[in-house]
Chains A and B, each alone.
Chain A
Amino acid sequence: MTVGLVVVSHSRKIAEGAVELAAQMAPDVRFYPVGGTDDGRIGTDLERVAAAFDAGLGEASGDGVVVLTDLGSAVMTAESAAEFCSEPDKVLLADAPVVEGLVAAAVAAQGGATAAEVKAAAEAVRFGPEPAFGPAGTAGSQGRGEPADSGEFELINPMGMHARPAAKIAGGLAGMDVEATVNGADGTSIMELMSLAVGKGDKLRIEAWGKDSSKAVDYVRRLVEQGFGEI
């Protein structure tokens, strides 16, 4: 079982749409979209948000729920609702954009990450690459010395690197204690990975620094070898 994910939006359509998108990449993750008021208007409803937190804590049976919010008052409603729910300490609000953050969180949750790791995966999207990384293609090993671990793998899935593989790589790496580049791009950035535009038959080179570097290389190797689950 995995960490549950709650989306709090002013709009029912945004909450449900973001969940629809992210659920494609995370079939085992439980999502709780809460959008709009109980009479169908734009707004947020504390009672329903608190109920979603409790449902997530009770059903999803990870070590907590991670919450994505849209505009300011959704954050305030989520914070208030957390105070009212059964286990406030297990409700983690991610400071991340709803769509990209939810996708990264979903992929991390699907991979069995803890609530804190899922939150970190969502927030890595928002804060983007470390300043030292530089733009895609230039990071390499400059200033960081030789990578602790690395690997090069040929893409075998017919679609190559597109949104879903990028999200799987980024989400998984964001939950690890590692700095990693893929063909020079920040391994935790879905956008940078997608912009690599590598197709079937092209090679992905991952270089990793930090405690989880061998785990990170192994993670990417497995994804590539399994064709990102697309074959």
Chain B
Amino acid sequence: MGLGVEWAVDWLTLSARRIAEHREELIALDRAIGDSDHGENMDRGFQAVMEKLAQSPPETPGAALKLAAMALMSKVGGAAGPLYGTAYLRAATALGESTDIDAAALAGALTAARDGIVARGKAVLGDKTMVDAWSPAVEAADEVLAAGGDAVAVLAAAAEAAEVGAVTTDPLVARKGRASYLGERSAGHRDPGAASSALLLRAAATAAGFPEGSAE
């Protein structure tokens, strides 16, 4: 038994709550090396996701993610809008009409999401962007899948790797996005997009029933 639409809705709902809880923290990270709007933008975007979920409850996980993609692209305002929007949209396309997502489908969706972010933002690993959270997450998910893990284990591994990946952005010099204008001065601060990515992937694991650990 894999994950269904309840998981997808729970994930988005928990994402909205986590983003709201960490709003000030994301704003502070973005104030250091960006335009200080990431926390506010993401909070507004996920509130729009919640409104859309209430208006038209989705019937498949793919439909839920597509709905989230559209809301985020239109309401976030900053770079995170098209990036996360593309990620959720590509994941939704990968999941198709399926209502029972197993570990392989989930790993495939995570890969599609990461590839969407890379295609849209043209960043590579080490540029101090959300790719630094997503790429290790995808690799960890694939490893767990290869070792025979289930969907929950895949999500747990992805969340863990994304959190580690976000921390690894601290010393990096930004090569993409608004922070790249700062050059060397961007080192010593965590990338806000990598931080929010870790929150979202942790929410995915929690919504699937994996007990919360260090994220709290």
Interface of A toward B, CB cutoff 8 Å: 37, 41-47, 71-73, 76-77, 79-80
Task: Kindly provide the distance from the CB of B139 to the nearest chain A CB, expressed in whole angstroms.
Answer: 24
Interface of B toward A, CB cutoff 8 Å: 35, 37, 41, 73-79, 81-83, 85-86, 120-121, 176-178
Residues of B near A79 (CB, < 8 A) are 82, 120
Name the residue in B41, B75, B85, B178 with the highest tally of chain A Cβ atoms < 10 Å from its Cβ. Answer: B75
List the 10 closest A-B pairs by CB distance, nearest first. Answer: A43-B77, A73-B79, A76-B82, A46-B73, A80-B82, A47-B74, A37-B77, A46-B74, A77-B82, A76-B120
Residues of B near A72 (CB, < 8 A) are 79, 176-178
Cβ–Cβ contact B74 & A73, under 8 A = no
Bound complex: CA A80 to CA B35 (Å): 22
Bound complex: CA A42 to CA B41 (Å): 11
Cβ–Cβ contact A76 & B121, under 8 A = yes
Residues of B near A47 (CB, < 8 A) are 73-74
Using known A-B contacts A37-B77, A72-B79, A76-B121, determine if residue A46 contacts B85 with beta carbons closer than 8 Å.
yes
Bound complex: CA A72 to CA B120 (Å): 10
Residues of B near A71 (CB, < 8 A) are 178
Residues of A near B77 (CB, < 8 A) are 37, 41-45
Q: How many pairs, one residue from A and one from B, have CB atoms within 8 Å of each other in the complex?
A: 50
Using known A-B contacts A43-B37, A47-B74, determine if residue A80 contacts B85 with beta carbons closer than 8 Å.
yes
* Listed A/B pairs (14) with beta-carbon separation below 8 Å: A41-B77, A42-B35, A43-B37, A44-B77, A44-B82, A46-B73, A46-B81, A46-B82, A72-B79, A73-B82, A76-B86, A77-B82, A80-B73, A80-B120
Bound complex: CA A76 to CA B82 (Å): 6
**Nearest chain-A residue to B41 (Cβ)?**
A43
Q: A45-B77, A72-B79, A80-B85 are in contact. List 20 more A-B contacts (CB 8 A).
A: A37-B77, A43-B41, A43-B76, A43-B77, A43-B81, A44-B81, A46-B74, A46-B81, A47-B73, A71-B178, A72-B177, A72-B178, A73-B78, A73-B79, A76-B79, A76-B82, A76-B120, A76-B121, A77-B81, A80-B82
Residues of B near A45 (CB, < 8 A) are 74, 77
Task: Kindly provide the distance from the CB of B194 to the nearest chain A CB, expressed in whole angstroms.
Answer: 16
Bound complex: CA A135 to CA B19 (Å): 53
Residues of A near B86 (CB, < 8 A) are 76, 80
Residues of B near A76 (CB, < 8 A) are 79, 82-83, 86, 120-121
Residues of A near B121 (CB, < 8 A) are 76
Residues of A near B78 (CB, < 8 A) are 43-44, 73
Using known A-B contacts A46-B73, A80-B120, determine if residue A73 contacts B81 with beta carbons closer than 8 Å.
yes
Residues of B near A73 (CB, < 8 A) are 78-79, 81-82
Bound complex: CA A37 to CA B75 (Å): 8
Bound complex: CA A42 to CA B44 (Å): 14
Bound complex: CA A41 to CA B85 (Å): 19
**Nearest chain-B residue to A78 (Cβ)?**
B82
Residues of A near B85 (CB, < 8 A) are 46, 80
**Nearest chain-A residue to B86 (Cβ)?**
A80
Bound complex: CA A77 to CA B120 (Å): 9
Bound complex: CA A76 to CA B118 (Å): 11
**Nearest chain-B residue to A80 (Cβ)?**
B82
Bound complex: CA A73 to CA B83 (Å): 9
Task: Kindly provide the distance from the CB of B181 to the nearest chain A CB, expressed in whole angstroms.
Answer: 9
Task: Kindly provide the distance from the CB of A95 to the nearest chain B CB, expressed in whole angstroms.
Answer: 12
Task: Kindly provide the distance from the CB of A75 to the nearest chain B CB, expressed in whole angstroms.
Answer: 9
Task: Kindly provide the distance from the CB of B191 to the nearest chain A CB, expressed in whole angstroms.
Answer: 14
Residues of A near B76 (CB, < 8 A) are 43
**Nearest chain-B residue to A45 (Cβ)?**
B74
Residues of B near A43 (CB, < 8 A) are 37, 41, 76-78, 81
Residues of A near B35 (CB, < 8 A) are 42
Task: Kindly provide the distance from the CB of A37 to the nearest chain B CB, expressed in whole angstroms.
Answer: 5
Bound complex: CA A37 to CA B48 (Å): 14
Bound complex: CA A72 to CA B82 (Å): 11
Bound complex: CA A39 to CA B74 (Å): 11
Residues of B near A42 (CB, < 8 A) are 35, 37, 77
Bound complex: CA A80 to CA B82 (Å): 6
Task: Kindly provide the distance from the CB of A72 to the nearest chain B CB, expressed in whole angstroms.
Answer: 6
